[in-house]
Structure 1
């Protein structure tokens, strides 16, 4: 018979409960960065953030440490905390990986999507087009992220969904500055992809998604080249990343 009681030595291995306020501040600041309300290169002052979020400075300080460890914020000795400015290489690498994941997602979605799934995609296209018509940048970004996630969900591949979820927040961050630029054209591409998924044409769906994500990648890189880059003090401090932290929150 197997023992049913844990040894008393296990009592010292209890997992600490998370600190909800720190997590909420972390999530709020992350969303402010993604949306561009906290711009790349912007100086982050603890007291100002605490007042804005209605909390004390301690959870803000803890959230900044977490954001720093995951590459959203840079801590610079003698300067303070700044929103990270993604390098061209960082953005290019992530968007290339995103293209690979979502091209396969579109191919599989064409093989497995049912009528209800296609209807969901059509509704998200409608929402995205409405956001373009009213110049609602946040609405464009949210609808774009939701549509791409829906395609991956319809693929039926849980591993693909897990990986796509891990890069989703970064993709939204990079897409926000070019959402207006991509505008109507992006949603025309989405509509063509949904048409291919509805027909069950896996190769066409994959090709359209591959071309679509490549246009987004190129638009982002072109936008970076034309934009002035914030001056970067040379010394950066990055705390060690905790394995699995980013995907756990997402």
Structure 2
């Protein structure tokens, strides 16, 4: 009776027989695969929407986007379909694709949820932060203050996201971090038009928050973050381009 074939090759590159299971006894060396083009295009378009290079309500022409990104229209079409499923793009019959124009209600719901999550995150961070963690918070704070002085909107948004993300990391709660991660991109989208108008107040509030975390005052950190996120929510509704009743 013939023996069943081995699930692993039993000959090396020279044709010599190798010991069975030798591949499993050594560390695997996996081939590095570049990200699929459609994923790269999706990430690029999402970032252009988040930083408002592509503005809410703007018509998205596949050919123009493909030329801008240096790709064919197919991965752009696939990326737009994915962005539509995630609420970043609206596909309208016979009209084409448009950057989603968020309603104030959508923004309010998301920023309210963000406030609850980040308030709890700040409370937990105050109980866990080490001296090195606080030092890192001040470094992130200084990056934001510099971006504010330079009137660098993109730098402000990036610095703000980095500071909040690090506070989330300090909370030590993986579930909380995952939930905040789900809303992070959209928070950056909403924050971009108010980053500079809100700038001085926001970074002064960050200063207070870092002091509370440094002092391990969980109650104060919780209260400061609650006020901070609520003021951001209000600022979004009061932005100059906000629709008026």
Normalising by structure 2, we get a TM-score of: 0.84
SS in 2 for 1:223: coil
Q: Name the counterpart of 1:247.
A: none
Q: Deviations over 1:70-123 (max 9, x none)?
A: 000000011100000111111100000000000000000000011111111100
Q: Name the counterpart of 2:73.
A: 57
In the alignment, structure 1 segments of 5+ residues that lack a partner are 6-16, 229-250
Using the TM superposition, give the Cα deviation of residue 226 of structure 1 relative to its aligned residue in structure 2, in angstroms: 3.7
1:91 aligns with 2:99: no
In the alignment, structure 2 segments of 5+ residues that lack a partner are 1-6, 8-32
1:44 aligns with 2:22: no
**Counterparts of 1:17-36 in structure 2 under 5 Å?**
20-36=36-52
Q: Rg bigger for which structure?
A: 2
Q: Name the counterpart of 1:9.
A: none
Q: Name the counterpart of 1:124.
A: 140
**Counterparts of 1:7-22 in structure 2 under 5 Å?**
20-22=36-38
Q: Name the counterpart of 1:73.
A: 89
Runs of 4+ deviating beyond 4 Å: none
- Give the number of the structure whose residues are more often helix, by fraction: 1
Using the TM superposition, give the Cα deviation of residue 222 of structure 1 relative to its aligned residue in structure 2, in angstroms: 1.4
2:207 paired residue among 191, 199, 216: 191
Using the TM superposition, give the Cα deviation of residue 19 of structure 1 relative to its aligned residue in structure 2, in angstroms: 6.6
Aligned residues: 214
Q: Which stretch has the larger CA shift, 17-26 or 156-165?
A: 17-26
Normalising by structure 1, we get a TM-score of: 0.83
Q: Provide the C-alpha distance between the structure 2 equivalents of 1:111 and 1:19, rounded to a whole number of angstroms.
A: 39
